[in-house]
Amino acid sequence: MRWSVSLTAEGDRVLTHDEILDLADAVASHEGIASGIGSMAYGAQLVVDAATSDEAVEVAMATFAAAAVNAGLPPWPVTRAETISEDDDAYEDDVG
């Protein structure tokens, strides 16, 4: 099953436009988007294949950590992880 996983890592300094653009480039191959310009946190929303929500978070966290390294970002702790499955998203579209 495909999952959309949103992750946020918080730290101790304000992030630049270029740093978040580098993160966006690093997560693009995972249908990812990045956030955090001008804030003390960076984040990404990634699409991963996994059997469960917990497994999706594990896969996404590894991808997120590698993307942060590739973007030259500090290895800040992940403070938020949220998932939504492809099925849940389709249901919300139908009833929303």
pLDDT in tens, 41-90: 999 999 999 999 999 999 999 999 999 999 999 999 999 999 999 887 65
How does residue 95 score in pLDDT terms, banded at 50, 70 and 90?
Answer: very low
CA distance 74 to 80: 16
- Residue 93 pLDDT > 60: no
Task: Give domain limits for the chain.
Answer: 2-95
CA distance 93 to 96: 5
The answer to whether 5 and 60 have CB atoms below 8 angstroms apart is yes
Q: In terms of pTM, does the model score above 0.85?
A: yes
CB atoms within 10 A of CB 42: 25
The domain 2-95: what is its CATH number?
3.30.70
How does residue 96 score in pLDDT terms, banded at 50, 70 and 90?
Answer: low
CA distance 86 to 76: 28
Q: Which residue blocks in the chain are alpha helix, DSSP H?
A: 17-27, 53-70, 86-95
